[in-house]
């Protein structure tokens, strides 16, 4: 199983890609829904990291997918979050999911 990032922030997406985590930029509800549909079909993905800003903007979509998906969906801070920073993001993922990024 691998992790996948959904973000509305290019900086966060770039940072995770450099760490070896694939991801997609989603800046509208339709882009977010399309990304989730593709992820639900991809059996190699087990954990979806969603940035707080994206989650806050599309809360109903995230809650819907958390209830129905086979994926573990967790929110992480992004570069625009007040507690942002590489150390806080990687420690959050490690503490929440138990995987070193």
Q: Are 39 and 4 in contact (CB under 8 A)?
A: yes
pLDDT per residue as tens, the chain (101 positions): 899 999 999 999 998 999 899 999 999 999 999 999 999 999 999 999 999 999 999 999 999 999 876 899 999 888 776 655 555 556 666 666 665 55
Residues 17 and 12: their CA atoms lie apart, in Å, by 9
For residue 3, the surrounding DSSP H or E stretch is strand 2-7
Q: Are 53 and 80 in contact (CB under 8 A)?
A: yes
């Amino acid at each position: 199983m691998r992790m996948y990032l959904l973000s509305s922030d290019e900086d966060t997406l770039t940072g995770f890609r450099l760490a070896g985590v694939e991801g997609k930029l989603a800046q509208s509800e339709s882009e977010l829904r399309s990304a989730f549909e593709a992820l639900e079909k991809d059996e190699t993905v087990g954990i979806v990291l969603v940035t707080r800003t994206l989650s806050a903007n599309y809360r109903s979509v995230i809650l819907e997918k958390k209830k129905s998906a086979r994926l573990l969906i967790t929110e992480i801070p992004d570069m625009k979050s007040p507690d942002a920073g590489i150390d806080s993001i990687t420690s959050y993922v490690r503490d929440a999911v138990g995987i070193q990024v």
